[in-house]
Structure 1
């Protein structure tokens, strides 16, 4: 093997090592933030009230309804159909608000991942970290639907 070939291999190796070190640094930073993000998501509760204050709905960070509180006089102030419609409106609003709040909490991690090269761009055949990040940033219900 010629000297210039060895130098090319060393240079390519150094470039690969540098790229992998940058990915490792970004990954370490992301993992340090991940614990806080998980705690925020676990504690997140989003509330929505029906348009006529007949009920209040609470959802978690995934948009799953965790509580519904109906006003004591809701049955006197509305019909079952109206209460149902208002509950559905409040649930949709709470789910949308939870999705927005979730994206804000995930923002720092998303910006780190978006700024770094994906592993499969550096090492052919390696798994895509962006695909994993997309999968895990979705609420569990959407993850189940996509796996079908």
Structure 2
């Protein structure tokens, strides 16, 4: 009977070593994950790591024709696409090592054991507004209060003389 217990212990230790080695391989795979995405117009390329952290951002010269809010939106969307690709790679690496009933995406997001009521609301971001406001004609040195946006402006006598 002692030999039966010894065989069981040996088998358990061998299973443990295999699991530990598989965990180490998976950990190395996850650490090496990197993903990139390029905007449809080719102006912006974003590279992220496995956690979705932006590690590289390439902006082509042609991107500077865009207004800042437009360029910001392209950067955000391109980075989100790179994050989605990194997530796909992460899920692909995790799926073989998880129990069959485990949802790898829920596990990564930290929601695997939460009920619908416990899930946080989706993050809704307000869309960027492209306000074609032109600041070229604004007198930035004036001490007078600026009129509200969209209000008609009147020039003062000193402003008319300086024209």
TM-score after normalising by structure 2: 0.52
2:108 equivalent in structure 1:
138
Correspondent of 2:60 among 66, 71, 82: 71
Q: How far is 1:28 from its partner?
A: 2.9
- 1:122: which partner in 2? none
Deviations 1:78-127 (A, max 9, x none): 221211111111111111111111011112211xxx16xxxxxxxxxxxx
1:56-95 equivalent positions in 2, closer than 5 A: 56-76=45-65, 78-95=66-83
The answer to whether the 8 Å contact 1:54/1:74 transfers is yes
Distance in 1, Cα, partners of 2:80 & 2:105: 23
Count of aligned pairs between the two proteins: 107
| Two-structure CA RMSD over aligned residues (Å) | 3.5
Q: Which runs of 5+ in 2 are unaligned?
A: 112-163
Query: How far does residue 49 in structure 1 lie from its aligned partner after superposition?
Result: 0.8
Instruction: Give the number of the structure with larger relative contact order, counting CA–CA contacts within 8 Å between residues 6 or more apart.
Output: 1
Structure with greater helix percent: 1
Q: Report the TM-score, using the length of structure 1 for normalisation.
A: 0.57
The match for 1:53 is 42
Residues 92 and 73 of structure 1: is their aligned pair in 2 closer, same or farther, counting only changes over 3 Å?
Answer: same
Higher Cα Rg, which structure: 2
Task: State yes or no: 1:97 paired with 2:85.
Answer: yes
SS at match of 1:138: helix
